[in-house]
Structures are given as C-alpha cells and as structure tokens.
C-alpha cells in the first residue's frame, strides 16, 4: 500500500511539473523525441531524475535554436516500471505517434524490452540509463550505450596504486555479471603494468562474513585491497578488515563506498577509503558546472548521476543528429558510431556493437568527511592521501 501512496505523490508532483515545463514549442513542425519513463511503480522515484534531465536537455536545445533548425519537443509516456508496458509504448511512439527520435527508458529491464521494438523498426535508441553489458551482446545495431561499461569500473585504482609505488594487489568481488567483467579487467591491467595480483576471489551476493577471506589476504600482505562491492558489503568489508587489523596501504571498496550512507555507517573509519562513482558534480567536464547550476535552479534539488548520465546521453544523441545532418536513422547510427566526444558525464565512444568503450568510472577518496576526486587526473579535486595509515595509528 505504501508504494501506492508514493506513486500518487509522484504523479501529483509530475502533474505540477508538467504544467510548468511542457510549454508549446516555438515555430512549426517540431522534432519530437519520444520515450517512456517509469513515472509510477517501483522505479518512479529515481526515474523522475531521468525525466527532468530530458526536459532540461529539451530546454537547452531550444534555447540554442533547436535541432536541424527545428524546435524539439518531448513525448513521454508512463511505463509503470513494467517492461511489457514499455515495449507497448515504444510500439505506440514509433507506429502511432511517429516520433522522430527515440530516447531510452530509465531501467535496464525496460530498456531490454524496448530495444527489441526499436531494433525491429531500425530506430536508433540512445539508452542513457541501460547498464547491463548483456544488452550489447544481443547483436542489436540501433541501441547506443552511454553509461560506464563494467570493464572500466575499476581501472583507475591500478593507476593510483602504481603512482604510489605499491607492489601487490588482492581482489575480492561479489559474484555478479558486472563485477565478473570489472574485476578481471582491472586484474589484467594490473598484471600488464607490473602490479602483482596475489589474490582473486568471488563471494556470493548477500555474504556478511568476510573475515576468513580477509585473513588470507592479510597473510599474503597485499598492499592494495580491491573489494568489488555494493553498499552493505562495502561497509562490512572495511569494518571487518579493521577488526582483524589488516591495514592495506590502499583500500578500495567499490561503488558502494561512494554513497553518503557509507560514511554515515563507518564514520572516521571511512577516511582514506577509495570508491568508484559514475559521476560527480565537481567533475571538470565541459558544461558540467553549468548543468548542475541549471538543474538546481529549475528543480530545486541536486542532480544525481542518473540525471547527469541522461543529460550526457542526450548530448551524445544531439551531436549524432547534428553530425548526420538529418533524421535518417542509419545516418544517425553511423554518426554515433564515429563520434568521440566529452559530455558533462564524461567521454563517449562506442564499439561496433554500440556498447560504450571510453567512459570510465571516477575514483574518489573520503578525506575529512568529504569525497575528493583522485582519478582521472584531469578532473581531480585533491591529492591522494596514500598510503593510508595503519588502523593502529589512527586516533
């Protein structure tokens, strides 16, 4: 019942928003961009960031004089967080509404269902929030990824370790599709660059006791510990390495360590811990600061990576259409295949399959209760505080 209420509140909020933002386009014959967004259902709360980013992008494009000399409007339907409904809506957008461009829905499941429809009609779909690498192994041509691919999640850690002259590295990762890709990619790079991989182990999702694993790694004396972790495991692995008094000189605890809850749970023990993240509002990508400013002004809240990733994805789409110089889907697909640019979200370049190959995670470190960006270097906000002091020497 509670989700029902959230849904109602979300619907009301969106209705209020829509009244203010869906203003009629200037001029005639606008380019219509169609998408389905989970405005109700279990994904609705996060999906509003996606919708708001779409709307902000439309505003910005129109302020610049539109696309191909025509104003842009957005046609959005609610997929109720249901992939089946999403597929139906993309049929409607393409067959019935005959929209000019198709943008992706919020979640991976809905993208999976919707991309089958867009592929059938040979419509390019830039799917800013679709994460599963499996989506790009289906042999589809018209689906474009702009989010970080899992193979590039952790590679920054290797660079940082080498910079500080560290010698050995140990991995322990959750057994999931993304980390089964992310971990070997980082381990391979480490090996290639002369960092010795002393341990590499996967644990099942939901593991709560890491002490045996950490004892083995401690015995090996690894300088660097990489935990391929999401939120609960990030906290637990750090806490337990302190309990057994294992002090890696560089402790990296995955995507789960980048959220504010991580610091709240660990307090001072979170200091010196490294984490990976898709995006940060201080990243020095072109236009990022302005994006954050405009988003805050328009919606009264901080954008998150969902908003930034969506906006960045649409910047890619926009560049593709401009480069193609027409709405011909095959020309746009070709342009998107050739493009290599930096959006507010980071770099964009895709392989033959449309899967992203250039966007990396950023690596951050908790310093004095704040996250500082360490890597990549051009976007850093602080120097790495490494090696981390042993637990015993901290206050």
Stretch that binds another protein, among 70-78, 223-231, 275-283, 381-389 (CB under 8 A): 70-78
Residues 112/140, Cβ–Cβ less than 8 Å: no
Site for another protein contains 92 (CB under 8 A) = yes
Site for another protein contains 11 (CB under 8 A) = yes
Q: Which of 59, 91, 159, 188 binds another protein (CB under 8 A)?
A: 91
Q: Quote the tokens at residue 181.
A: 């890709």
| Residue 264 burial by Cβ neighbours in a 10 Å radius (0-12, 13-18, 19+) | exposed
Q: Which of 134, 212, 219, 220 binds another protein (CB under 8 A)?
A: 134
Secondary structure (3-state) at 335 = helix
Query: Could you tell me the sign of the dihedral formed by the alpha carbons of 236, 242, 245, 247, in that order?
Result: positive
Q: Which residues pair with 33 in a beta bridge?
A: 74, 101
Residue 10 or 335 having the CB closest to another protein: 10
Site for another protein contains 95 (CB under 8 A) = yes
Site for another protein contains 100 (CB under 8 A) = no
Site for another protein contains 83 (CB under 8 A) = yes
Q: Which of 18, 45, 68, 212 binds another protein (CB under 8 A)?
A: 18
Cβ-count burial 83-102 (b if 16+ within 10 Å, e if not): bebbbbbbebbbeeeebbbb
Residues 94/72, Cβ–Cβ less than 8 Å: no
| Residue 119 burial by Cβ neighbours in a 10 Å radius (0-12, 13-18, 19+) | middle
Site for another protein in 165-224 (CB under 8 A): 175-177, 205
φ, ψ (nearest 5 deg) of residue 125: -125, 110
Site for another protein contains 82 (CB under 8 A) = yes
Least CB distance to another protein at residue 325 (A): 29
Least CB distance to another protein at residue 302 (A): 24
Residues in contact with another protein by the rule CB under 8 A: 7-8, 11, 14-15, 18, 39-40, 42, 76-78, 80, 82-85, 87-88, 91-92, 95-96, 108-109, 112-113, 116, 119-120, 132, 134-135, 138, 140, 175-177, 205
């Amino acid at each position: 019942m509670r989700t029902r209420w959230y849904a109602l509140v979300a619907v009301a909020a969106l209705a209020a928003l829509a009244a203010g933002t869906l203003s009629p386009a200037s001029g005639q014959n606008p380019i219509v961009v169609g998408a389905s967004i989970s405005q109700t259902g279990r994904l609705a709360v996060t999906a509003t960031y996606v919708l708001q980013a779409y709307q902000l992008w439309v505003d910005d494009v129109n302020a610049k004089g539109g696309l191909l000399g025509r104003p842009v409007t957005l046609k959005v339907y609610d997929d109720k967080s249901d992939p089946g409904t999403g597929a139906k809506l993309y049929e409607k957008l393409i067959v019935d509404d005959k929209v000019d461009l198709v943008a992706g829905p919020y979640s991976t499941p809905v993208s999976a269902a919707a991309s089958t429809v867009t592929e059938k009609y040979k419509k390019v779909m830039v799917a800013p929030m679709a994460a599963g690498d499996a989506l790009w192994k289906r042999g589809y041509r018209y689906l474009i990824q702009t989010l970080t691919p899992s193979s590039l999640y952790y590679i920054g850690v290797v660079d940082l370790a080498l910079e500080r002259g560290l010698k050995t590295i140990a991995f322990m990762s959750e057994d999931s599709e993304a980390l089964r890709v992310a971990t070997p990619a980082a381990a391979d790079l480490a090996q290639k660059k002369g960092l010795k991989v002393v341990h590499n182990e996967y644990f099942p999702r939901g593991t709560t006791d890491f002490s045996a694993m950490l004892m083995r790694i401690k015995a090996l004396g690894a300088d660097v510990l990489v935990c391929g972790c999401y939120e609960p495991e990030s906290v637990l692995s750090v806490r337990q390495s302190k309990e057994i008094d294992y002090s890696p000189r560089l402790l990296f605890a995955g995507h789960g360590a980048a959220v504010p809850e991580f610091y709240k749970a660990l307090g001072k023990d979170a200091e010196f811990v490294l984490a990976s993240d898709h995006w940060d509002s201080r990243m020095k990508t072109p236009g990022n600061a302005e994006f954050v400013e405009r988003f805050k002004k328009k919606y009264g809240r901080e954008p998150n990576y969902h908003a930034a990733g969506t906006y960045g994805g649409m910047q890619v789409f926009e560049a593709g259409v401009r480069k193609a110089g027409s709405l011909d889907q095959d020309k746009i697909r070709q342009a998107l295949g050739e493009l290599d640019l930096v959006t507010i979200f980071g770099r964009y370049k895709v392989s033959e399959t449309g899967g992203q190959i250039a966007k990396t995670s950023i690596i951050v470190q908790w310093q004095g209760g704040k996250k500082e960006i360490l890597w990549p270097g051009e976007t850093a906000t602080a120097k790495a505080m490494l090696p981390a002091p042993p637990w015993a020497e901290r206050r």
